[in-house]
């Protein structure tokens, strides 16, 4: 098989690139290791915990024993299905803060500041909220403001206001800071993945093709990438290969192909095409804790948790695309600053009106609620390396979670701050006992023990093929996503982020695909925006 452009991965960035190249009349072939995204477990938002844990849809990776978490191995899933991780994620839509992208420029990602990326967010969006200069209204990606019908969603936002924090009408607009309603990639009660937004319409038009296979190695003619060795044979690229295979699999594929830290490649008997020491380094993520509180009224999602309750939820969704199955459950959120002197939010909350784990296991106490909370800008860094030169071997993943002392201080603050919010008058009609960590867990040492045992990944891996200037030895791609040191090869997905953005990564990953497509096509990027973000006037003196 052959095409002008071969894209490895049909996920958030890969689908967007494929659609935009196809729209421009290019011959595009997308390689995807996973199968169809058809079926209720993927498409019903309320069923999100199922595909996340199914080998049918997911690369079910786990980390090496994490040294600062008592040797725990943390699960690290990535989508292995049409639509990639956009087909198995929590559907939360967060662009990140404007200052994140200005930080990217400082890190060497010239042309990726907030003014540069905002037009791409606007181009991709079809938002159902109030019209805004900051938002997009006619893009392919449907984004819905969540309705917050359960009274606990409102209690969370009101409690934040009572604690003195900001409230925001649109955290993806001018003002991220504050408590408000989440946006989600849900449309008419169903998951709206990158595959639905971009890839499937492109396939229907005939310029883009999709092939099910695993990419094993990139083939080079000298320094030029000419195609991909796959599980079903060689695929030739007449113009370029674009790797959009995730923060784990993109660096793995580069290293298997001879692009990476030379000594590490030689250890595995791999011929070095380009010595790029940054490949696989700079791995970042968000960690979070679930702070759980019992609810004294039977109003939580726990009322659906019996077999009969789940059947009714599923039936209503199948018949009408409505009810509890039409929501991901995360309808209220907050972005706040941890202390005075922090200029923009560095803590994120996801609020859920049930006390439950990601695997769908409910708390023994029954009715309850929880906030997922975590710091957004950890200083800890990890790496992705090779187990062996065998493409079938899983990548070796070590996040090095909690390796920086500030992480412990930040998480202790998150727990105490959540208790303060849950203690506000808005929760008085509903508040039972604290389920987790439990009211007896109070000292720094007790909190640290709880954190080490219970902290979980928010599944936001990035940074392993970071974008930067060509004279930066740790940069892997230049600001046009071209792999430094070779020709005919680009990487475009969350692996190129120099720093993790403030919030969930699906939206910035799709934006990366949108912007990369213009670079691939040789187009002048969209004109920069002159819109400015809101910065709290009290940021130097207060956390709220």
Which residues define the annotated binding site for FAD?
Answer: 81
Pick the catalytic residue from 97, 142, 304, 460: 460
* Residue closest to 234 by CA, chosen among 222, 251, 255, 219: 219
Collapsing DSSP states into helix, strand and coil, what is residue 263?
helix
Cis omega (within 30 of 0) for bond into 198? no
Cβ within 8 Å of residue 161, ≥6 positions away: 167, 179
CB 395 within 8 A of CB 252: yes
Q: Where are the alpha helices (DSSP H) in 79-234?
A: 98-106, 114-124, 151-162, 194, 200-205
Q: Per DSSP, what are the bridge partners of residue 6?
A: 29, 241
404 counts as catalytic:
no
Binding residues: 81
Using alpha carbons, list the distances in angstroms from residue 356 to 293, 367, 382, 471, 485.
11, 10, 29, 48, 47
Tokens coding 420: 């303060």
In what helix (H) or strand (E) does residue 316 lie, and over which residues does it extend?
helix 307-320
Which has the closest alpha carbon to 335: 451, 501, 211? 501
Distance CA 160, CA 373 (A): 14
**Paired residues of 477 in beta bridges:** 467, 483
Q: How far apart are the first and last CA of the chain?
A: 57
Q: Render the burial of 353-391: b for 16+ CB within 10 Å, e for the rest.
A: bbbbebeeebbebbbbbbbbbbbbbbebebbbbbeeeeb
Cite the DSSP H helix spans in 217-306: 246-256, 262-267
C-alpha 238/C-alpha 228 separation (Å) is 11
Catalytic annotation, residues? 460
């Amino acid at each position: 098989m052959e095409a002008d452009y071969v894209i490895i991965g049909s996920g958030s960035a890969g689908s967007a690139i494929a659609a935009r190249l196809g729209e421009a009349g290019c011959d595009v072939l997308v390689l995807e290791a996973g199968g169809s995204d058809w079926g209720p477990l993927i498409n019903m938002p309320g069923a999100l915990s199922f595909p996340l844990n199914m080998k049918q849809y997911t690369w079910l990776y786990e980390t090496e024993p994490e040294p600062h978490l008592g040797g725990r191995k943390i699960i690290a899933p990535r989508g292995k299905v049409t639509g990639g991780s956009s087909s198995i994620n929590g559907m939360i839509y967060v662009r990140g803060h404007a200052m994140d992208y200005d930080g990217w420029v400082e890190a060497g990602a010239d042309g990726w500041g907030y003014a540069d990326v905002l037009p791409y967010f606007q181009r991709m969006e079809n938002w159902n909220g109030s019209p805004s200069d900051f938002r997009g209204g006619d893009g392919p990606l449907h984004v819905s403001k969540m309705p917050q019908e359960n009274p606990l969603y409102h209690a969370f936002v009101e409690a934040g206001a009572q604690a003195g924090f900001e409230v925001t009408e649109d955290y993806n607009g001018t003002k991220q800071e504050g408590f408000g309603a989440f946006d989600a990639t849900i449309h008419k009660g169903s998951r709206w993945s990158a595959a639905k937004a971009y890839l499937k319409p492109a396939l229907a038009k005939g310029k883009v093709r999709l092939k099910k296979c695993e990419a094993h190695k990139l083939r080079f003619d000298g320094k030029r990438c000419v195609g991909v060795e796959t599980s079903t044979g060689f695929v030739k690229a007449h113009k370029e290969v674009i790797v959009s295979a995730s923060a784990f699999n993109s660096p793995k594929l580069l290293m298997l192909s001879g692009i990476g830290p030379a000594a590490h490649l030689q250890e595995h008997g791999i011929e070095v095409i380009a010595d790029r020491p940054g490949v696989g380094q700079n791995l970042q993520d968000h960690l979070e804790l679930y702070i759980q509180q019992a609810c004294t009224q039977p109003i939580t999602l726990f009322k659906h948790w019996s077999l009969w309750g789940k059947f009714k939820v599923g039936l209503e969704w199948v018949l009408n695309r409505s009810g509890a199955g039409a929501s991901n459950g995360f309808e209220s959120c907050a972005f706040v600053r941890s202390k005075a002197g922090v200029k923009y939010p560095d803590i994120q909350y996801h609020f859920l009106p049930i006390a439950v784990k990601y695997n769908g296991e409910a708390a023994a106490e029954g009715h309850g609620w929880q906030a997922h909370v975590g710091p957004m800008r950890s200083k800890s860094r990890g790496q992705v390396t090779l187990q062996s030169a065998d493409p079938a071997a899983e990548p070796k993943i070590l996040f090095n979670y909690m390796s920086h002392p500030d992480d412990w201080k930040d998480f202790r603050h998150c727990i105490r701050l959540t208790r303060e919010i849950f203690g506000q008058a808005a929760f008085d009609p509903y508040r039972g006992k604290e389920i987790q960590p439990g009211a007896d867990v109070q000292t720094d040492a007790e909190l640290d023990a709880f954190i080490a045992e219970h902290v979980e990944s928010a599944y936001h891996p990035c940074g392993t093929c970071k974008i930067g200037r060509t004279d930066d030895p740790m940069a892997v791609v230049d600001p046009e996503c071209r792999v430094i040191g070779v020709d005919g090869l680009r990487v475009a997905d969350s692996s190129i982020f120099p720093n993790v953005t403030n919030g969930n990564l699906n939206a910035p990953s799709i934006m990366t695909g949108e912007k990369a497509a213009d670079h691939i096509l040789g187009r002048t990027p969209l004109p920069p925006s002159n819109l400015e973000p809101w910065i709290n006037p009290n940021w130097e003196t207060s956390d709220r």
